[in-house]
């Protein structure tokens, strides 16, 4: 088992980021509880300051830097929630931050990251092109903080699990959105350290589920990124993955995939039944519950990971439109 990152790291991260991130609430869901015959609750992590859990890991990583590293600044490549979280965390800590992106990134995402105080560099037509600029800045002395496969990032994300255990001490099942594995690795590490009988289930989308496919293959593999309503769950796990592949393999009990239709239904449900605006990636746990894909959830918490959905798209989905992003993009 990968014991590289421990419960002690989680508690240390919690102390480090205290006062810089929100403790987010857990609420009981009458509608999901009725639908499943179990006690279903939602961890509203989408109400985090930058709209997703990513702020926890970014804040812990920035605050864990040495004085020399902080003086040199941080750099990352991101189109979304990690970029927002890293930009905000760096600004709060007084650390220079550059986020590198390709020309294909929508302008609203570029503006969103600039609004958090980061410098944005637009390079080339792909993430790979943007990464070349990151590598150049690292060679000049800046510190790269990646989205998920990093000790301090994982330890920071794991603090959400400490909150969940305090808010629901008799937890039996936890549903976690699964992408590169930074979130689920941290959550599963904490849960299994405290109570090994808690089931940790990763939920991803059918289209381009890189960690799921890599686990099936027994090693990190390249998985084509496809358009999906759960766009924040896209992207690979890294062929030279150092932490999250092994931690997911050793600590996660089950991985489940949901369809685009099920994701859209979950976004609708969250809005009309729970009064929550959530992005596709944050809805996958609800999607799995509504589709009957979670066996005997018992006392279950579904982690709602983010809210940064395009509001025009959200409006179309909740209005009942059959939105097919797979055809659009």
pLDDT of residue 69: 97
Residues 28, 124 share a domain: no
Whether residue 32 lies inside any domain: the answer is yes
- Gyration radius from the chain CA atoms: 18
Query: Which of the listed residues 141, 163, 190 is the one where a domain comes to its end?
Result: 141
Residues contacting residue 281 through CB under 8 Å, at least 6 positions apart: 177, 179, 230, 231, 232, 233, 305, 306
* Same domain (yes/no): 165, 234: yes
For residues 175 and 316, state if they share a domain.
Answer: yes
Tell me, yes or no, whether 247 lies in a domain: yes
**CATH code at position 100:** 3.40.50.1100
Strand partners, 186: none
Q: What local confidence, expressed as pLDDT, does residue 108 receive?
A: 76
Residue 147 lies in a domain: no
Q: What is the per-residue pLDDT for 324?
A: 82
| pLDDT at residue number 240 | 95
Give the pLDDT confidence score for residue 328 in this predicted structure: 53
What are the tokens at 15?
A: 């102390």
Exposed / middle / buried, residue 312 (Cβ in 10 Å: 0-12, 13-18, 19+): exposed
Q: What is the C-alpha separation between 156 and 58, in angstroms, rounded? A: 7
- Of 141, 168, 186, which residue constitutes the final position of a domain? 141
Please indicate, yes or no, whether residues 134 and 41 belong to a single structural domain of this protein.
no
Residue 61 domain flag = no
Do 163 and 93 share a domain, yes or no? no
**Rounded CA gap, 280 and 283, in Å?**
5
Phi then psi dihedrals of residue 194, to 5 deg: -85, -45
pLDDT tens by residue, 251-292: 999 999 999 999 999 999 999 999 999 999 999 999 999 999
Are residues 218 and 292 both part of a single domain? yes
Chunked in runs of 10, what are the mean pLDDT values of the chain (329 residues)?
80 98 98 97 97 97 97 89 94 96 81 91 85 94 95 98 98 97 98 98 96 98 91 90 98 98 98 98 98 97 95 96 74
Assess if residue 265 is contained within a domain. Answer: yes
Residues 259 and 289 in one domain: yes
Domain assignment present for 218: yes
Residues 58 and 89: beta-carbon distance below 8 Å: yes
120, 141, 162 — which closes off a domain? 141
Question: Is residue 210 domain-shared with residue 298, that is, in the same domain?
Answer: yes
Rounded CA separation 239/221 (Å): 6
Assigned domain for 192 exists: yes
290 lies in the same domain as 311: yes
- At 323 the pLDDT is 86
Q: Which domain holds residue 248?
A: 7-52+152-328
Q: Are residues 164 and 120 in the same domain?
A: no
Tokens 């007084």 belong to 94
> Do both 160 and 118 map to the same domain?
no
What is the count of structural domains for the chain? 2
């Amino acid at each position: 088992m990968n014991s590289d990152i421990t419960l002690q790291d989680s508690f240390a991260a919690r102390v480090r980021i205290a006062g810089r991130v929100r403790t987010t609430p857990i609420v009981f869901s009458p509608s999901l509880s009725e639908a499943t015959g179990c006690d279903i609750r939602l961890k509203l992590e989408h109400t985090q300051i930058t709209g997703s859990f990513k702020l926890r890991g970014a804040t812990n990583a920035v605050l864990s830097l040495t004085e020399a590293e902080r003086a040199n600044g941080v750099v990352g490549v991101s189109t979304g929630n990690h970029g927002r979280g890293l930009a905000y965390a760096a600004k709060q800590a007084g650390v220079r931050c550059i986020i590198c992106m390709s020309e294909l990134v929508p302008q609203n995402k570029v503006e969103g990251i600039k609004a958090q105080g980061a410098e944005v560099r637009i390079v080339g037509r792909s993430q790979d092109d943007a990464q070349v600029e990151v590598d150049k800045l690292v060679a000049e002395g800046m510190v790269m903080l990646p989205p998920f496969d990093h000790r301090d990032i994982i330890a920071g994300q794991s603090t959400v699990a400490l909150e969940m255990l305090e808010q629901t001490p008799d937890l039996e099942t936890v549903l976690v959105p699964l992408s590169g594995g930074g979130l689920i690795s941290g959550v599963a590490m904490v849960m299994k350290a405290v109570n090994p009988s808690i089931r940790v289930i990763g939920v991803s989308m059918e289209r381009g589920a890189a960690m799921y496919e890599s686990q099936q293959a027994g090693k990190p593999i390249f998985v084509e990124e496809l358009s999906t309503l759960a766009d924040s769950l896209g992207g690979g796990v890294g062929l030279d993955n150092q932490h999250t592949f092994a931690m997911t393999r050793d600590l996660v009990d089950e991985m489940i995939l949901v369809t685009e239709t099920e994701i859209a239904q979950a976004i609708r449900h969250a809005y009309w039944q729970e009064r929550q605006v959530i992005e596709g990636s944050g809805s996958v746990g609800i999607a799995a519950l509504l589709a009957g894909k979670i066996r005997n959830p018992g006392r279950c918490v579904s982690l709602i990971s983010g809210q940064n959905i395009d509001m025009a798209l959200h409006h179309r989905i909740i209005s009942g439109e059959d939105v097919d992003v797979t055809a659009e993009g």
